[in-house]
Structure 1
Amino acid sequence: MKKFRFLSLLGIVLVCLFTITACGDDDSNDPPSPDVPTGIDPIILGTWETYAIVPNGGSEIAVNSHDESVYEYWHRFVFKADGSFDGYSVNYRGDEEIRGRIEQTFITKTFTFSASKKVLALLNLVEGYHDVKDFKAGKSVKTQDMVIELKTITDKELSYNVNYDGKQALFKMKKVDGNGGDSGNGGGNGNVSASMLLGSWGTTLIAGSATDIETGNVVESWNNDTPNVSDKKFMCFVFSENGNLEIFSHGDDDAEQQELVSMKGTWTLNGNMCHVVAGDMVLEVEIITLDENNLTFHYSLQKQFRPRHSEQTYFVTYDETIYLKRYMIS
């Protein structure tokens, strides 16, 4: 097993598509890596998000997933009671021409954590947006084991040091659900509140891509700002308490449809996964972010797809993330 000091993990906390720098076991200049812990101290369970960084000798800088000036510093880490771990990053480099999309960039089925030693082990970790997609599709991907040292951890906050641009910086995360964290927030953690999902949500951004399964090439990508009902790509989702779902859109992309048209369906929630049936669509939707005013969800499926301005049809992985805010449908 390779062992990594947290100061070496430039990639794990900084970028969506990254390279991890390992400290070799034979490097006599580095202190020995910590022993791999056994078991899971429950203090780490739940969802953590970066809220600030403190450069060495500098002032604290606020971090969130909506400010593009700090995209590269934001992450969401999800530690689950079944021993699995998911990690999310913001696509700040514009891979697939979709800058600002929240993407899953880490996944493993096994982690361990010792609160007394502040040591976290991520076992058989898959890293990188594309490798995570392949792993979830059942493909063989490269994995590695990591042992990470935290600087501090409480039931509400954790911190760690990393080297960035040759300088040390302190990264701070807060727990945003469960086990001492802020109440009412969900996404990626198995604890989404169904009551918070109820009501009307209007899209602000729809970002996605279609990747040819045979070649691995992206045949089309999109990043559509949709803040107004007059925008052609605008959609509104209405979740009702009885499990009914109504989706409003402008209909066919090529139609000169001005008024919103409705499609009815149903929804059921299981953890952070929402099963949606609407028309001929059956989707398993992952809720990434949910609070009183913001909702982000992601889904991926395989289907036949014809890019715009093309006569050729491909069998693709269709991957889309939809960002929404509370909206009153008239």
Structure 2
Amino acid sequence: MKEDKDVIIERGLQESNYTFFDREQLVSFAENFYTVTGIPVSLHTFVRDSVELQAIHAGNTLRCSICTYLRRECFPAFRRACFDNNHAALAECSKAGKPHVYRCHMDLCEAIIPLKRFDNESSVIFLGRVDTKPATEEGFRAFIKRAADTEPLILESDAEELRRLYYSMPRMSEDGFARAVALAADYAKLMETESRPVRYIPRTYVDAVKQYVSANIHLPITREMAASHVGVSPGYLSHVFARELGCSFSEYVTAKKLEMAKELLSSTSLPIITVSERCGYDNPKYFSTLFKKHTGMTAGEYRKKATPHLDNPADI
């Protein structure tokens, strides 16, 4: 019997180790670079241009930066804009084969620096986000307007936290950022020529898909979208999910979306129609039907049970 090409690929991933830079060296670089420059750093390695093997972070990427806050608060349009912006910059960096400095959709400075490509693997250094303008109330209002233009769901109640995060974001001149990029680029060249490579075993497809679902929980995720992301067929993705998790892909996505819905219902006063949208359901009636099917109660009933201290929680 002819073996499915995806099975062959998976067996190859399991049986072979991929050459990768020494993780300890990368962690040391990220931490030292952040200490010296104050610029957040993240380093990513990808196999077959799709599945991320590992990420290393230093700086306020680990804390709640203003952009991280906006993404974590489930603002779907903002998260999508970040995703599209980063992928466009990554494509530009890959095409040019050299450091790429750019401004994101929020007018913050970022840079991507490529590390040496192996046969089926690539690594990049992300620098930023950095504001090259001084922190002022006028600048804050412009930042919030830009964010609101991207994401209409941002609420007035978010303003004070966003103000605090705006004033604490990393800042330096454009020339200073350019010098920092040059420093990181020199380090990348040094790593390519002097670093002793180590062997690294990649994550499974399931791990990669879990990350994809988590990052895109606000979208109407399909099996085809996830399969395309990790580079396998939809049928094979279903096979792997059934084997590894004991459920179908759609069952997994639904469970994660409902987890998010429960969290929003119990921790916020957002209207149920907004909760539905933030969980990737454009049709609130379908969301309500699905929620009751899986929990045995309506979203409004769940909220009242989960928040007995609130007299009139939003239920529309």
TM bin, normalised by shorter chain, reads under 0.3
Structure holding more helix per residue? 2
Higher relative contact order (CA 8 A, sep 6+): 2
What TM-score, normalized to structure 2? 0.24
The structure with the larger Rg is 2
